Structures are given as C-alpha cells and as structure tokens.
Amino acid sequence: MKKVYFTLLTIFLMSLAAKAQSYQKTQLGLKAVINATVVEIQFYSPQIVRVIKYPEKDNFQKKSLSVIKNPEKTRFSIDKKADKILLKTDALQVILNSNTGSVSFASHTGKALLNEKESGTVFTDFNDTGSKTYTVTQSFILDKKESVYGLGILQNGKMSQRNQKVHMVQNNTWDFVTFFQSDKGYGLFWDNYSPTDFSDNPEETSFKSEVGDGVDYYFMGGGNADGVIANMRGLTGQVPMFPKWTFGFWQSRERYKSQNETVEVVKKYRDLGVPLDGIIQDWQYWGDNYHWNGMSFLNPEFSKPQQMVDDIHNLNAHLIISIWSSFGPKTPQFQELKEKNMLMDFQTWPQSGKDVWPPDMNFPSGVQVYDPYNPEARDIYWKYLNKGLFSFGIDGWWMDSTEPDHLDFKPKDFDNKTFLGSFRKVRNAFPLMAVGGVYDHQREVTSDKRVFILTRSAFAGQQRYGANTWSGDVNSSWEMLRNQIPAGLNFSLCGIPYWNSDIGGFFAGAYNRGGNAGSGAKNPAYQELYVRWLQFGAFTPMMRSHGTDVPREIYQFGKKGEPIYDAIEKSINLRYTLLPYIYSNAWKITNGQSSMMRALMMDFEDDKVKDMNSEYLFGQSILVAPVINAQYTPETIVKTNEDTGWDKKDTSDKPKTLAVDFTQKKSKKVYLPAGAIWYDFWTNNKYNGGQEIEQETAIDKIPLFVKAGSIIPIGPKVQYVNEKKWDDLEIRIYEGADGEFTLYEDEGDNYNYEKGKYATITFKWNDSKKTVTVSKQKGSFSGMLKERKFKVVKASSKTGMSDTASEQIDKVISYNGNEVSIKL
C-alpha cells in the first residue's frame, strides 16, 4: 500500500513540475500556459518586449493599428530557476513567474523597473454586439516615489500622472494615448483602442479596457526619456519633416466669412510689416449644414476659390482649410458612403440644419460620421478631398473633430459597426485612422509637397502622419493657459512631438462688453491673457492664434506704439529670429528622436523638476518660464466647454473694464534647474542652477534663459519664412560649458530630404580653449548656399537681445563649406 501511495505522490509531483515548466521557446521569446492562461513574451528588439495574455481556450489574433515595427532578430537567453523563468537580452531582463503568470521587468544589470501585480490579470466576459470577448485588466506595482508621464493631452494641470483615475475616451479637449513612461527610464504602451480606465493608487497601477480578446502591451527600456521616446517611435513610426513655412506665425479665427475677408487679413499683415506665414479658413465655405464638409466652395462668398488661393500665395503666405470626419446628407460623399454602409449613426456636430445655438432639433442636420477604419471609405474621402480642394493648391488640412464629436452619448452608440468590428472596440484609434488616411493618400499623389495636418485628436503612432495636434476648444482663462503647459509636455512624452493650442483660448465671449461682439480685444483683462498666451505659443511647435467671440488679428488690439500691439509684434518677430534654431530642432526630431517641448525631467537630475508643470525647455537650450498668472488685471474665472461656450447670452459676471498701465514692470519666481549655468536671454546675466530667483517681467517680456554651453543661430528679420536666405546668420555662444549645435537646411517643402538631399553644418564650442569650430558642410541640395557669413557673438551682459547686432559681433566668419576655427 505504501508503494502505491509513493507512486501516486511521485506522479502528482511530476505532473506539478511539468506544469510549472510548461513553456516552449519561440523565435521571439517564449509561450507558456499558466493557470489556464496563455502567456506570450515576444522581443521586438533588445529593448522592446511585447506581453500577450489570453484564456487558454481561446485564440488570439491581432493586427495592431499603432504598432508598425516588425520584430527584429534579437539574441536572448532563457534560464529557469525554481518558479522563475528569466529571459535576457543585452538590454533587458524579463522574469515570468511560472506559478502565477505575473511578469516583471529589469534592466540588463538586474535593476528592478516594473512588476505586474500578482493576480493582476483579469478577464471578464463581455458581449460586444454579439461577439464573445472580454473586459481586460492588467495591474502593475510602481515604486511609491516613482513619477510617470504621458497618457496624452490631459487638461488636469498635472505633470506626473500618479494618484488619479482617467477615463480614456477621446473628446474635444482631452486626447488619450494609452502610454506612460517613468522617471526610472522605461515606458509602457497598452495596445487597446476601446474605452479604457487608467488608474493609479498606492496599491496598484492599472489599465482596464472595455473590450479586448486579451491583454496586449509593450514594455520598453531606454534608460531615460529620450531613449523611451526613441523606442516608442521605433515601435509606432518615425516623424516626417514638416514644411519649413509651418514654423512661422499662423492667424485664424472662427471664422472668416468670405474669401475677400480671408485674403484681406493677409494683406493687412503685409501692410503692417508684421510676419505671417499662414492663414486658416474655418468651416461653412461649403454653405449650409446639410452640405456639411462638402469639400466644395458652395458658399457664394467663396465663388472664386482658385483666385483666393492664388492671392494668398502671391502674398507669400499659405492656406490650410477646415475638413471634418463627417458629412451632411446633401453631399455626394454622404450618398456614396451611405450606399456602401460606411457611415455611423450617432449624434455629432452640427446637430441642427440651422446655424443657431442651442441647436434647433426641429431641423435635424442629418450629419453623420464616416468609418475611417475602412480602407475603401478612406479612398472615397480622399477622392473628394483631392478633387474638391487639393486641386486648387491648398497647402494643408485642418482636420477638425477627429475624435470625433460624439454628442448626447448613448451606450448603444458603441454598437455601430465599423470595418474592424464594433465602434466600441476601436473607438480611441479613430483619429489615427482618419489622419493616416489623408497622409497616406497625399503621399501617394505627390512627393513635391509635404503633408501638413492640423488635427484636434490623436492616438499612439500618429506622429508618423505629418500631424500637429491642438488641444481643442479650450476656454479663455488663466487656469486653462496654465493647463496647456503640462498638457503639451505629457503629449510630447508619449513620443508625439508636434502640439499647439488656440492662442488666447477658443471661447472668449466672457471678455466682450455690453453685448458688443469682438470688444474683448480692447478689454485689458483679455489683452493681458492673450499676450501671455501668445508669448507661450511662440515657444510651442506651432504658433497659431485662433478662437471665437474675439477676433485675434494684431490690429484688433490697437496700433503700433501701444503696449499690447508692440508686445504681440515682438513675440511674433522673436519666433522668426529663432527659425534656424527651430527648424534644426525639427530635424533632430526626424533624424535623432528628439522632442521640441521638453519636460525638465528629461534633461536634469533634479528632484525639484520631476513634477514641474510651469517651465520647460524649448529645444535643448532655451528654458521657457511663461507668465501664467495675471499681473495687471484680476483673473477672470471662465467656465465654458464645447457645449456651453457657444451660448452667446450676456452674463452679469463678465470682467469689468479697468484702467491698466501696461508699461509697469512686474516680476515672477523662476526655478533654474541644477546642473547648469543659466543666462538670462534678454540681458545675458548669469545665474547658477539649483535656485529659485525673482525675475523681472514686462508685458512684452517673459522669463527666458539659455543653458551654458549652448550655441543658438539667430535668423534675419523677415515677413515670412522664406523671404531671406540664411546667408548672414548670427551665432550666439553661451560659454561656461562645451557645446555643439547642428544647423540643418533642405529644400523646405518636399520629401527630397528622404533621398539625402539636405545639408548640415555643425558648430562646436570648446570652453577651455574659447574656440569656435565650424565643421565642413555635409550633404547638398538644390539651391544650397555656397558661401555665407556667420557673425559670432559671445553672450555677455553687454550683448542682450535688445542691443543691435553690430554692437554684439565678436568675429565674422566667411564660410565656403570648409572647416574653420576661430578663437574668441
């Protein structure tokens, strides 16, 4: 009998051991079945690993909408010790617990990075319009003092996204990306497109998605924020170069009501000598709401569209135009898409056929959103866009409502069928598909004109589609201005570098007086807010003024010689003088995985900047500390959104007219990160990092600082980007550390750079020897300068920005493309 018991025990223990070791090595990693759950670990590179989990009884088949990287051949080893299966590459360690199925991640040296929570994988049965699937949850354990960043454009004012819950469904002003990165040097992309909850509390950090056939996420190392971003872009797509002219100043409003008005704005800027590169035509050029987004100039006020485009081009400006993700019932697009069952049925903007607020639902518009998940629907969209607008030579696309607008939400709306399943299943990827459809089609048509898309929403991978995302219809308040800084920084930390906001806020009606529409431009309370927002906007990837209620053109605010007008003009001119720096930084994004707006934690190991939401680096040299509190007027509390903002009724709590002296000097506190010496951009006074200082401000000046060791090229004063060549640049040297800067140039508005037709010149500063070396020029392109001069200026308190260039010059270098060194 003892022998029988012993035999049974042996068999039982052997079966347990076999179960515990039940895994198979695959080409990409391993596959195991643990507690009736399949766990797959797949290396996409030495630094990127994919984790898939699903119930053993099911199959998991998925083609990612965001991930375009094919797994590269990666050397890895597998070693089993007790209940741990260790997979190692040259960069990562991945540990699978063979008892619980939980996965942990560590650096190649064994430094712990992230752990799944034991029993943190949950599958809950879910019926998705007849398809049996799951609600999926994966929980992780983060260190208590760890900071995480990302999740998209969030209007919560926070830099680190710890200790909160975010319900992630795309909307007008919150754009969600199911990705975060940690200050420990790793990132995590949750590859799911359904409504998702990100939750972080002291017990766990989790993603929970309403629909999913399994858990599917990518863990990536990187060592620092730039390394993580490089891996995220390697996984989901690289960033193309934008046209050079897009980095100038853009004027817009809701809306110019005739082609004559649109052209006259450009003419006025030219007459005033104020730089401008772009004008934007908003909605209703197609006529009424029943012809919504017809992509045709049916409005009689736009009867000669080719002349409008030609007039703008002859003024050396560019035009982008509003297009939407929905169509009115009287458009041919609607009819063709409807016949092919490619429209979705839920309430979207505009709800009424009458252009009134609130919507008069006695006259429903019948506007419906199209299905961009369907490749044929994307073909149809482009067919009409190409014929109706692109054929006129329009320069780019303002893709509004790419989230899309989803009004009067009802749960059954998610039951709408798309090409890829229920709308519920793919909801958050809508902007990725809509924007990608336009980019891909234009690239197929021509390589002579770079795609430029301004869009209101985004998802992971959208950086590959030539799109700059703006933060939606935010209201015109100081609180909202403050929120834009961490919103843009966290979005950039998702690997999507191009971002902007409506300068001055979209809904500004609270500043108009006595029912006088547009009077807000003369209201000091709005003037101050607008100027500060514009100064911030000068240091974002796109400088674009836009909104409703209060026209934003510079001449609305006064005239030359008046403080507000002069402050606006000064900011625009400053943007243009920094164009060589900005365009070269754009190349660092495309070629070097960099980011233009940089959270301070990216570049400084300083605990005081880990959660700083009020300052940032623009490029890797300029510290921007925008004025984000009212200094001359009381702060106006404005509570509007995309619904209430359209209500034009007068209210009694509007800001009062004040007597304000905008010539007074003010001040604000600025923190200078440790680990660097800092130069005041305006005066060149020097400060040690690691301290907070009281910095003087004025209505025309915000605190700007330059890091020692920086080299900044200063461009000529121009009225538009391409007015003058960069043949006489000023090169500013900020001593105190060695430095390097690469000036990038190309043809400006085609894709020849992808064929190697571009040139770079690298400047190096040796701080101990006080020498500047200009390298041999690399590369060439059509129209490249053969000879030029560089006026070298060593920053000192005698050479602030207010001085004339002739007083600042230390050396003039005649440059013909060969290396030259000078001593300052």
- Which of these, 54, 51, 33, lies nearest to 42 by C-alpha position? 51
Q: How many CB atoms lie within 10 A of CB 370?
A: 25
> 726 near 785, Cβ under 8 Å?
yes
**Roughly what angle, to the nearest 10 degrees, separates helices 305-314 and 259-272?**
10
Q: Give the whole-angstrom CA distance, residue 361 versus residue 720.
A: 45
Q: 492 is written with which tokens?
A: 């950039």
User: Which of 200, 403, 642, 700 is an active site residue?
Assistant: 403
Q: What are phi and psi of 46, to 5 degrees?
A: -60, -20
Strand partners, 779: 759
Q: 309 is written with which tokens?
A: 């485009």
Amino acid at 702: I
Q: What are phi and psi of 513, to 5 degrees?
A: -115, 135
Q: Give the whole-angstrom CA distance, residue 355 versus residue 357.
A: 7
- Residue written as tokens 């959103």? 369
Helix (H, G, I), strand (E, B) or coil at 279: strand
- Which of these, 618, 628, 773, lies nearest to 157 by C-alpha position? 628
- Residue written as tokens 């690691």? 690
User: Which of 400, 569, 730, 746 is an active site residue?
Assistant: 400
> 747 near 773, Cβ under 8 Å?
no
- Which of these, 709, 156, 169, 93, lies nearest to 426 by C-alpha position? 169
CB half-sphere exposure, 497, CA atoms < 13 A: 32
Q: Read out DSSP for 368-428?
A: EEE-TTSHHHHHHHHHHHHHHTGGGT--EEEE--SS----S--GGGGG-EETTEEHHHHGG
DSSP state of 554: G
Q: Give the whole-angstrom CA distance, residue 327 versus residue 330.
A: 8
Helix (H, G, I), strand (E, B) or coil at 288: coil
**Active-site residue 473, yes or no?**
yes
Amino acid at 328: G
> 597 near 618, Cβ under 8 Å?
yes
- Which of these, 24, 54, 435, 423, lies nearest to 217 by C-alpha position? 54
Torsion, Cα 767 769 770 776, to 10 degrees, reads: -90
Helix (H, G, I), strand (E, B) or coil at 775: coil
**Active-site residue 403, yes or no?**
yes
The CA–CA distances, whole Å, from 382 to 20, 455, 563 equal 54, 16, 46
| Distance in angstroms between the alpha carbons of the first and the last residue of the chain | 97
Helix (H, G, I), strand (E, B) or coil at 311: helix
> Which residues are part of the catalytic machinery?
400, 403, 473
